[in-house]
Amino acid sequence: MLFCPYCANGLTIGDREDSTDKCWVCPTCPYQFIIERQVCHLQEAVMGYGLPANLCDQISMRTHLKRKEVDDVLGGKEAWANVDKTDTACPKCDHRRAYFRQMQIRSADEPMTTFYKCCECGHQWREN
């Protein structure tokens, strides 16, 4: 992702006003950056601002991020480590005590989702 050097907003791809060339366009200020000559302009910009010469190489390299495992996102095994207990019936074994925790998994204007884990059989369920 590229950012505007003047206002630091994210750049989007658009058409240049005076030609058919594609360019990076700032949505909040008049900054435009022609895409076909990007490497040339980028090197000039790096030298003009006194930034390190290898910055062009760092910018052009693509970084592949490691995806998080689903358990990492939702808490995994550690999610139930220090949770409270409540009086509720397990739908599987009818035991009257369960661990519970709450998470905001939908939009902010929706209520939190409560996750339960039975103290007896370990069955997990949720209520919205």
Supply angle C-alpha 15, 30, 12, rounded to 5.
45
Q: Annotated binding residue at 119?
A: no
Cα dist from 125 to 27, 69, 94, 111, 121, whole Å: 45, 20, 13, 17, 12
Cα dist from 1 to 12, 47, 52, 58, 60, whole Å: 9, 21, 19, 13, 11
Q: In this structure, are residues 120 and 97 in contact, taking their beta carbons and an 8 Å threshold?
A: yes
Q: Annotated binding residue at 90?
A: yes
Q: Annotated binding residue at 118?
A: yes
Q: Annotated binding residue at 23?
A: no
Q: Annotated binding residue at 4?
A: yes
Q: Annotated binding residue at 56?
A: no
Binding-site entries for Zn(2+): 4, 7, 26, 29, 90, 93, 118, 121
Binding-site entries: 4, 7, 26, 29, 90, 93, 118, 121
